[in-house]
Amino acid sequence: MQYSQKVLDHFMKPHNIGKIENPDAEATEGSPACGDQVSIQLKVNPETQIIEDIKFQSYGCASNIATGSIITDMAKGRTLAEAKEITWKEAADELDGLPPVKMHCSVLAVDTLRKAIKDYEVKHKLSEADKFNKDTIVEELKKVIYPKVGEDIVSLKMVKYAGFEDGVAIIDLEIPKFDKYRDNVAEEIQEHLEKFKEIKDIKITM
């Protein structure tokens, strides 16, 4: 697997690593059991809503650490509204690219940043907590990356149906039986959806 020099630099000497004492907001996404986890903490100026300090901790591979490092660099000094607009593709581009099978690390870093911003907004009554529904599932599936090409499964039109009924998330995927990434995609869907307390069971058909 070929990493860019920027990925290696951020892996060897990550920026903004550590914890903030009494952070204004924080979030953790992923799971060490599944291979990757990122935690992000924020210190925000309440008048300007500029992110004045941001730290991260990462449990995972080189690209997981590098994306945590670059996303905190990109968010620091921006307003909350500006930081929310950072995409996982922009983060990967800032690292001069990531191997397709590692694009999910960039998604995880951006997702954690957005969750930390949401935590700040809810705590300061700037917005309400998200309400769970079928659209929540579709939005979460947009964070599942097909490793072969490094794009999400919704944009690739691999999701033929996504529903939610009586606590069961129902996902219908179009992916050939001979596809070597078939199990990886199913496992990542499980990982993304099982964090929602509203979901009691996940049924994936392929």
Beta strands 168-173 and 201-205 are parallel
Task: Check residue 60 and give its pLDDT.
Answer: 86
Mean pLDDT on 93-100:
94
- The β-bridge partners of 43 are 53
Beta strands 36-44 and 25-31 are antiparallel
Query: Residue 171 — pLDDT band, cuts 50, 70, 90?
Result: very high
> Is 61 tagged catalytic?
no
pTM above 0.85, yes or no: no
> Is 34 tagged catalytic?
yes
The single residue of 17, 34, 50, 101 carrying the catalytic annotation is 34
Q: Judge contact between 154 and 189, C-beta under 8 A.
A: no
Which segment, 77-86, 130-139, 148-157, 189-198, is predicted with the most confidence on average?
77-86
Helix, strand, or coil (residue 78): coil
Mean pLDDT on 45-49:
96
Query: Residue 31 — pLDDT band, cuts 50, 70, 90?
Result: confident
With a cut of 80, say whether residue 1 has pLDDT above it. Answer: no
Q: What percent of the chain is predicted at pLDDT more than 90?
A: 85
The string over 77-100, giving b where at least 16 C-beta atoms fall within 10 Å of a residue's C-beta and e elsewhere, is ebebeebeebebeebbebbebbbe
61-74 confidence digits (pLDDT tens): 999 999 999 999 99
Mean pLDDT on 34-60:
93
The single residue of 42, 51, 98, 105 carrying the catalytic annotation is 105
With a cut of 80, say whether residue 9 has pLDDT above it. Answer: yes
